[in-house]
Structure 1
Amino acid sequence: MWIEERQTKKGLRYRYNERYTDSKGRTKKISITLNSNSRIAQNTASRLLYEKIAQAQEQEKEDKEITFARVATEWQEHAALSVKPMTAVNHKLHVKKALAILPDGAKLADLTAVDIEKAMYELYYNGSLTYGYCHAVLQTIKRIYKYAKRRRLISDIADILEVELNRKPYTASELVKKKEKFLDHDELRECLRQLHQLHKPIALMMEFISRTGLRCGELLALRVQDYDKENRRIHINGTIIQHTSVNSNVVRGTPKNIYSVRYVALDSRSISILDSFILENKKRALWFKGYDNKGYIFTTNRGNPYNLQYIGHYLRRVQIEGKHVTTHIFRHTHISILAELGIPLKAIMQRVGHNDPKTTLSIYTHVTENMQSDVIKKLEKCTL
C-alpha cells in the first residue's frame, strides 16, 4: 500500500492505493481517500482496500458467469429510455429472435464471433426472413456487446463487431417485386375501384396518400388544426405509433425523423377528400353519442384514427396482378406520378419527407426508364 497526499479546498486529504491481479493476469489499482494518515487511519485504509479488492474479485466472478440473455435484457431496458416507443418494440422483437438463435443459457464471455456468425447465417441463408430484418437482429447483438463493454463485463469485442451479413443474390421474382412496388395509372384506378366496393373511407384514404405521398401513420395522425385550407396545404408533424384496436387509446408520436416534419401542398381532389371526412365527423359528433372528438380527421365512428391492421385487412383483399398492395405502395405511387411529371428529385424528397435519396431513386429511376422506353416508341411512329 502507498499513500498520496493531496491538498484540497477542504484541507489535506490522503489517498491510499493498492494493486491486485485479476483473473486474466492484469494488474489493477484500487484506491480510497481519508482525512488522516495516522496509524489508525492506515490500518482502516488497509482493511477497506482489501474489502474492495475482495468485492471486485467477487464481482469479476459474477461477471464471468453472466449470460447473454441477462445482458440483452438489461440493454433493452436501458435503450428503451432514449428511443421512440416503436423502436423499443422493435428492439424487444430483435432481442427475442437473438435469444432464439443463440445457444440457450450461453454466457456472454463464452460466445464467439463464429457462434454469432453461424447463427445469423442459419437465420438468413436457410430461412425465409428478409435481409433487412436479419441485419437488424445482428445490429442489435452488436449493440448488446457494446453495452457490455461499457459496463466492463467484457473487454474485447472487436471480432464480434466485424461479423457481417452479406445479402443473398436477388431471385428473378424478387427483382420483379423490387421494381414493381408502385401502381401505374390503370392499376391505381382498378385498385381504388375495388377498395370503394370493399370500404369507401379506406379507398379515399389510400387515394389521398397517392396524391400526397404521406406515410399511413402520418395520414392517421392528421388533425383539423394541421389543415390549412386557405393556403391549400397540410402540416405533417406527427404519426400514430401505437394503435392496436378500434377502441384503444391512440398514441400520437413525433414523425420518423426531422425531414418528415414538412408542409405538403394539396390539389383540389385532396382538399375535397379532407373536407368530406371533416364534414362526416361533424355529423357523427352531433348524432352519435359514442363519438369522441379528439381532433383527428381520418376517424372511425368513435373518433379514433383508423386501425392500421384494420386497413391492411381490406388491402389484402384487393387483387392487382403482380402487385402486393399495402399502404406504402400508394406512397410509392405518388413518387412515380411526380417522376412522370418531371418533378426534380430533390423536390420529391422534400414533399415525401425522405432524407436518403436511395429510396426515392429506386422508384424515380424505374419510372424514368419506362418514360425513356415510351419516348422510343413514339419516335418509331414519327415519320418525317
Structure 2
Amino acid sequence: MKTIKHKRAVLYSLFNFATKMKYISENPTNNIILPKSRETLIDIEFEENKGLSRDELHIVLDYCERANRDIRHTLIMEFLFLTGMRLEEVGGLQVSDLDLNNKKLSIKHVIDTKATLDSSRTLYPPKNRGSRREIHLNPRSIEIIEWFINNQIDFDFVFTNRNGNPIQQASCFSFIKSVCTKALGENPKRKFNNHILRHAHITLLAELNVPIKATLARVGHVQESTTLRIYSHISKKMKDETAEKLDKIII
C-alpha cells in the first residue's frame, strides 16, 4: 500500500506541473481513490518492535568490539541512537557545523546517501524547515565526533567511511542489520536498520519525560502526529514505572 501511495504522489506532482504549464486542463490523479488498507497483525507487531533499548544497544556495541567490527560504522550507529538524527543529516555534517565548546551542532544540509561518485558529496536542503535546527550534544556524542576529527580522512565531511567517502545508506543498513542480528538474534517481527535508532532516540526522550514540543524541535518533526505515533509505543521501562505507580494507589 505504501508503494501505491508513493507512486500516486509522484504522478500527482508530474501531472500537477503539466497542469500549471497548461499542457493539460486538469490533474487526472485527483480522481484516484485508493482503497483503505487494513492493518494486519504483522504490521502492528512490526510497528511495536521498531525501537531499540539502551540495554540492547549496549549488547550490540559489546558484540562489535569483541568481533572487531568496523569502528566507523559502529560509532555512526551509536551516534544515531544518541542524537536521533537522520542518516542523511549525519552524512552531511561539516566541520563548520560544529560548536563543541557549547555542546551543539547545526543541521543545515544533508546528502543523498544513495548517491555515488561525485554526486555523493553534493549538499541539499534538509527534509523540511523544521529539519534545520540546532541540537544539544551529550559528552559521548562529542567523544564520537572528536574521534572522527582525530582520525579525519576528509576535511569537509565529519562522518566518512574508511575510504574517506561520505557515508552510504546501503552499507549502513547492511552493517546495522548484521550486527544487531548477530548480537540480538533473528527476530521476524523486527527490522534492524538505521531508522530503528531514530525511533529508539524518540522513545528515550519519552522515558526522560521530555516535553513533546522539545522532542519535535530536537528530531526535526513538523507534525506532532509523527512523534506521537512513536510515543504511543511506550517502552517496557515506562510500562513498569506506570505499573509501579498504580500499585501504590490506595483508596
The TM-score, its normalising length taken from structure 1, stands at: 0.57
Residue aligning to 1:184:
53
Identity of aligned residues (%): 29
Query: Aligned partners of 2:125, 2:157: CA distance in 1, in Å?
Result: 15
TM-superposition CA deviations, 1:349-376 (whole Å, max 9, x none): 1001110112211111222796245322
Asked if the contact 2:91/2:113 (under 8 Å) is kept, the reply is no
Q: Give the superposition deviation at 1:167.
A: 3.4
Q: Which residue of 2 aligns with 1:137?
A: 7
Is there any run of 5+ residues in structure 2 with no aligned partner, and where?
A: none
1:232: which partner in 2? 103
2:242 matches 1:371: no
Please name the residue that 1:78 is paired with.
none
1:10-29 superposed matches below 5 A: none
Distance in 1 of aligned mates of 2:33 and 2:229: 24
1:1-384 paired onto structure 2 within 5 Å = 131-150=1-20, 152=22, 154-155=24-25, 160-196=29-65, 197=67, 198-241=69-112, 243-245=114-116, 249-281=120-152, 291=153, 293-317=154-178, 318-319=180-181, 320=184, 321=187, 322-367=189-234, 371-377=238-244, 379-380=246-247
8 Å Cα contact 1:246-1:307 kept in structure 2: no
Q: Distance in 2 between matches of 1:156 and 1:303?
A: 49
Partner Cα separation in structure 2 for residue 144 and residue 248 of structure 1? 24
Distance 1:167 1:207, change over 3 A: farther
Secondary structure of residue in 1 paired with 2:112: strand
Q: Count matched residues.
A: 243
Distance 2:204 2:27 in 1: 48
Q: Secondary structure at the match of 1:363?
A: helix
The structure whose residues are more often strand, as a share, is 1
CA distance in 2, matches of 1:252, 1:332: 25
Q: CA deviation at 1:265?
A: 0.6
- Aligned residue type for 1:139: A
RMSD (CA atoms): 2.7
In the TM superposition, residue 342 of structure 1 has moved relative to its aligned partner by 0.3
1:195/1:315 contact within 8 Å kept: no
| SS of the residue 1:342 aligns to | coil
Q: Secondary structure of 1:183's match? A: coil
AA in 2 matched with 1:361: L
Q: Mark the CA change 1:238 to 1:148 in structure 2 (over 3 Å): closer, same or farther.
A: closer
> Is this contact kept in 2: 1:181–1:332, CA < 8 A?
yes
Residue by residue over 1:160-197, the C-alpha shift from the partner in whole angstroms, topping out at 9 and shown as x without a partner, is: 51322133211111101112211122222223333443
Provide the rounded CA distance (Å) in 2 between the counterparts of 1:153 and 1:250: 36
Write the distance in 1 (CA, Å) between the matches of 2:225 and 2:62: 31
Q: Which amino acid aligns with 2:104?
A: R
Query: Which residue in the other structure is 1:45 paired with?
Result: none
TM-score, scaled relative to structure 2: 0.85
Q: Structure 1 residue 323: deviation in Å?
A: 2.2
Residues 316 and 326 in structure 1, CA contact (< 8 A), matched pair in contact too: yes
Does the CA contact (< 8 Å) of 2:113 and 2:167 recur in 1?
A: no
Conserved? CA contact 2:120–2:166, under 8 Å: no
- Give 1:258 deviation, angstroms: 1.2
Measure the CA separation in 1 of the matches of 2:21 and 2:148. Answer: 53
Q: Pick closer, same or farther for the CA change 1:179–1:229 going to 2, 3 Å.
A: same
Asked whether the equivalents of residues 294 and 303 of structure 1 are also in contact (C-alpha less than 8 Å), the reply is no
Contact 2:90 2:110 in 1 (8 A): yes
Query: Within 2, Cα distance between the matches of 1:355 and 1:149?
Result: 29
Amino acid at match of 2:77: M
